[in-house]
Chains A and B, each alone.
Chain A
Amino acid sequence: MMQWETVIGLEVHVQLATQSKIFSGASTAFGAEPNTQACAVDLGMPGVLPVLNENAVAMAVKFGLAVDADIPETSLFERKNYFYPDLPKGYQTSQMAQPIVGPGKVEITLDDGSTRSVRIHHAHLEEDAGKSLHEDYHGMTGIDLNRSGTPLLEIVSEPDMRSAKEAVAYIKALHAIVTYLGISDGNMAEGSMRCDVNVSVRPKGQAAFGTRAEIKNVNSFRFVEKAIAFEVERQVELIEDGGEVIQETRLFDPERDETRGMRTKEEANDYRYFPCPDLLPVTLDSAYVDHQRARMPELPSEKRHRFENQLGLSAYDAGVLASSRAMAEYFEAVKETCDDAKQAANWVQGELSANLNRESLEIGNSPVTAEQLGGLIRRVMDDTISGKAAKQVFQALWDGEADTADAIIEARGLKQVTDTDAIEGMIDQVIADSPVQVTQYREADETKRGKMIGYFVGQVMKASRGTANPQQVNSLLKQKLDDA
């Protein structure tokens, strides 16, 4: 039986979060009325000239710095020529020979916590096309050019991934980087991150790559995994049946969970790139790059290391909490309020995540704010409430019963009784009410007493309606039962 190895490379298009288009002053806001955000430049009207958006350049440079890439001093825009109705100029302004971001690398984290490096071939700036709406408009196709000219950063990896899981980890790492940098909202459902996946297989141990198929527009983490799984199986079966993989573009169909070849005209890929005469070479001196470097926020990998080394979290906890900007910010705000990183980590990954998962909520929409959770943890740490009561308080905060943990503790009378006199009173009562058990306890072996004391603790806790501090009850009970 032949062993096969999968080889995957990805092209990820990230929509940059600029206010205006890459070459015009039209708005990029999502969801506007058709063609109300398509100006003369976006429409390719005669006589218009593109002017490059400084912020798109800054965002591309920040990405480059985040993946340790070279930022060449000069980059060029070129025209990629093809005809399609949602591309009114007849070419897409893009970059090829001299992209804005050179070779770099991204660290990915796999499920078992191990890390790997994936090389970035380059990243380039380009403009998005419009949208074709194929619903029936009197037998015609409708064109909305609002999206045309929206800045995209296309990030091209080397064929360094060997499984669908690695490919997903890579996209997640890119997603974390662009959202940490604030250069994209990373919203895959709205198309802010779109992936083309290059997949090939080869016999294990063979150095040469097999022929690859390119799967277009795979737009969620889950679909990436499914599309690759299907494609690998298709290629292996094809080869084992004596066939040959042909280099082609395929589309993933999430409804049927399969990839299908697209009918392509033979000259479809003849894009006849040439330098765009309307745009001059872009020159970025080292002062500009340093200026961007100075404005970089802390990145996911840096955060992970800080959580581990300075806050003393485990590698696993640090990895989970740093994986998304929203999660990391929430955790740090909780930690700020309760002043205990480990407790904050436990609550965010435990009770909070469980509740979020159950109701399919993102952490940004959590009904319990970081300040509320921090306030709750503070009351556990200063022994105001027991761990058990804390879960009740959390649920009440989740349900919106009150604004603060303190208000709920007060309203529900959950304050732990730590007053020794009060607890002693309850213990005396329990001892008086349980003569049989007391005799058994006192006649029992030292080794068995530990278990037997549980009965008395339970009775006292019941008498206090759960508000007595269990450790205190335990030690006071031991004194009283053992002394007599």
Chain B
Amino acid sequence: MAIEHADVLRAAHLARVGLSENEATGYVDDLSRILKMVDQLQAVDTQDITPLAHPLDATQRLRPDEVTEHSQRERFQACAPAVTDGLYLVPRVVE
């Protein structure tokens, strides 16, 4: 699978990563090499193998349904750039 300049810019935009044109060109080469390795992996016959969801051979522990956390709003909001009436403020979202 070949990767192009536009693919890198699109992936960067989806992840909200700022890239200059030069950096993007560099990533086209880097990512192409990674994809080449993936192509090699793709060639392996995995038909009878269940996809691995997690590298640890363990299952999820469950917790009882109890309220154990209490408001620490002041502490959490101490590092927020802007708050009002208990709300976090963010640049206006236009719907």
Contact = CB atoms under 8 A, between A and B. Distances in A.
- Chains A and B bind each other: yes
Interface of A: 18-20, 24-27, 33-40, 43, 45, 51-57, 76, 81, 83-85, 98, 132-134, 137-145, 267, 270, 272, 275, 277, 279-283
A14 B63 CA distance: 21
Contacts, number: 128
Given A267-B13, A283-B60, A19 B90 contact: no
B67 A20 contact: yes
Contacts of A37: 71
Nearest to B63: A51
Contact of B63 (A34, A36, A54, A137): A54
Given A18-B65, A26-B67, A55-B65, A141 B59 contact: no
Contact of B68 (A20, A38, A275, A279): A20
B62 interface: yes
Interface string B1-29: 00000000010011010000000000000
Interface in B34-71: 53-54, 56, 58-69, 71
A140 B60 contact: no
* Size bin of chain B's contact surface: 35 or more
Contacts of B88: 35, 85, 142-143, 145
Interface of B: 10, 13-14, 16, 53-54, 56, 58-69, 71-73, 76-77, 82, 84-93, 95
10 A-B pairs with least C-beta separation = A25-B68, A55-B65, A142-B87, A54-B62, A34-B86, A39-B69, A36-B71, A280-B60, A283-B59, A143-B88
B3 to A, nearest CB: 15
B60 to A, nearest CB: 4
Given A33-B86, A141-B89, A134 B95 contact: yes
- Identify the interface centre among B60, B72, B82: most chain A CB within 10 Å of its CB: B60
B92 to A, nearest CB: 5
B87 A143 contact: yes
Nearest to A56: B65
18 contacts: A20-B69, A24-B69, A25-B68, A36-B73, A53-B62, A54-B64, A54-B65, A137-B85, A137-B89, A139-B92, A142-B88, A142-B89, A143-B87, A267-B13, A270-B14, A275-B54, A280-B60, A280-B61
B67 A27 contact: yes
Given A133-B87, A137-B87, A140-B82, 12 more contacts: A33-B73, A34-B87, A35-B86, A35-B88, A36-B71, A40-B72, A54-B62, A81-B14, A272-B14, A275-B54, A277-B54, A279-B60
Contact of B93 (A51, A85, A270): A85
B84 A280 contact: no
Nearest to A136: B92
Contacts of A24: 69
